[in-house]
Amino acid sequence: MRFLQLTSKMSNCSKFSDDTFRWDLPNLEFTYDEKVALSHIVIDFVNKPANSSPIQVSTNLIDRDSYNPDGLIICFPSRSKDLVHYSPNFEFWKIDSIRPRQVLFTFRGIAIDTVSFVSIVLVIQ
**Structural domains in the chain plus CATH codes:** 2-124 (2.60.120)
* Separation between Cα atoms, residue 44 and residue 42, nearest integer Å: 6
Measured distance CA(83)–CA(86) in Å, rounded: 10
Q: Is 99 exposed, middle or buried (0-12, 13-18, 19+ CB in 10 A)?
A: exposed
Phi/psi of residue 43, each to 5°? -125, 120
For 101-115, what is the mean pLDDT? Answer: 91
User: What's the whole-number mean pLDDT along residues 33-48?
Assistant: 91
Average pLDDT score, the chain? 90
pLDDT given for residue 77 in this prediction:
81
- The pLDDT of residue 79 is 64
In degrees and rounded to multiples of 5, residue 18 shows phi and psi of -65, -25
Radius of gyration of the chain (CA): 14
Please state whether the predicted TM-score (pTM) of the whole model is above 0.85.
yes
CA-CA distance, 42 to 86, in Å (whole number)? 9
**65 to 10, 15, 27, 95: CA distances (angstroms):** 31, 26, 26, 11
Percent helix / strand / coil, the chain, rounded to 5: 0, 50, 45
Q: State the pLDDT at residue 96.
A: 85
